[in-house]
């Protein structure tokens, strides 16, 4: 699945001169936690709830994190920057400017990585630099809810199940093919051999359960440490 499959469109936007009170009212009305700032069709920033937490209107501007005297000497411009964020009246002055965008064909895996790595809740979707949609964390959650589990066609034979499972296992760094064997009989997957940890046992079970046609999993492998004590 790609961004185009789950993105929200059309997108609620504001201009760079939008007033703070208008922005707050819009977030409440639309029940959203952030809104892109668009100028000439291009996304130039985002205003999020976090940008409105410390504001002089409600007396929270003094909640600016305390900084040591030496930090103030090294970066005195930070104090003036904080003042702008807490007192400015327009979107252009308080918006987050560091915006990472994706294309319509960006895979969901890449989007999830961006959201997690950058600690953001949404990314704009662009087509030729123009905003066409937005993908939020909630959109990813909805995608999980919509996609049926084991949506692939069930394997026809036990050997089909085994081959599908091996194809998945061989992509995983925790799988040790020299230590383990996989058998399938009547839809029941059986693991034999050795393993390093109980985490590997759980991961192997999940991998098997995700293969359509699997009716159960039996893991008869012996932990490596226990096997060594017998030798």
pLDDT digits (tens, 9 = 90+) for 14-41: 999 999 999 999 999 999 889 999 998 8
At 69-124, the pLDDT tens digits run: 555 555 556 677 788 888 888 999 989 888 899 999 999 999 999 999 988 889 99
Helix (H) / strand (E) containing 124: strand 122-127
At 196-211, the pLDDT tens digits run: 889 999 999 999 999 9
Cis peptide before 91 (omega within 30 of 0): no
Say which residues have a Cβ less than 8 Å from residue 204's Cβ, sequence separation at least 6.
169, 175, 180, 191, 195, 217, 219
Q: How many Cβ atoms are within 10 Å of 16's Cβ, its own excluded?
A: 15
Helix (H) / strand (E) containing 40: none
Average pLDDT of the residues in 45-59:
84
Instruction: Band the pLDDT of 52: cuts 50, 70, 90.
Output: confident
Tokens of 77: 């411009």
| 0.85 surpassed by pTM | no
pLDDT for position 59? 80
Instruction: Band the pLDDT of 49: cuts 50, 70, 90.
Output: confident
pLDDT for position 102? 94
Tokens of 143: 């995608």
* Contact predicate 37/99, CB 8 Å: no
Instruction: Band the pLDDT of 143: cuts 50, 70, 90.
Output: confident
pLDDT for position 53? 85
């Amino acid at each position: 699945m790609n961004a185009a499959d789950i993105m929200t469109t059309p997108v609620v936007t504001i201009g760079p001169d939008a007033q703070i009170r208008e922005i707050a009212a819009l977030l409440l009305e639309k029940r959203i936690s952030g809104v892109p700032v668009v100028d000439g069709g291009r996304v130039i920033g985002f205003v999020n709830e976090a940008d409105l937490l410390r504001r002089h209107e409600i007396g929270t501007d003094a909640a600016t994190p305390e900084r040591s005297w030496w930090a103030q000497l090294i970066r005195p411009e930070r104090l003036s920057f904080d003042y702008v964020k807490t007192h400015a009246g327009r979107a252009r002055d308080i918006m987050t400017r560091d915006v990472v965008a994706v294309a319509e064909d960006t895979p969901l895996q890449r989007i999830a990585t961006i959201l997690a790595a950058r600690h953001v809740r949404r990314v704009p979707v662009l087509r030729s630099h123009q905003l066409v949609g937005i993908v939020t964390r909630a959109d990813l959650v909805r995608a999980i809810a919509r996609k049926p589990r084991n949506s692939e066609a069930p394997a026809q034979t036990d050997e089909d199940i085994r081959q599908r499972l091996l194809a998945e296992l061989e992509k995983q760094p925790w799988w040790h093919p020299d230590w383990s064997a996989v058998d399938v009989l009547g839809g029941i997957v059986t693991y034999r051999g050795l393993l390093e940890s109980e985490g590997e046992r759980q991961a192997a079970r999940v991998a098997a359960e995700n293969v359509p046609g699997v009716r159960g999993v039996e893991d008869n492998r012996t932990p490596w440490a226990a096997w060594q004590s017998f030798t």
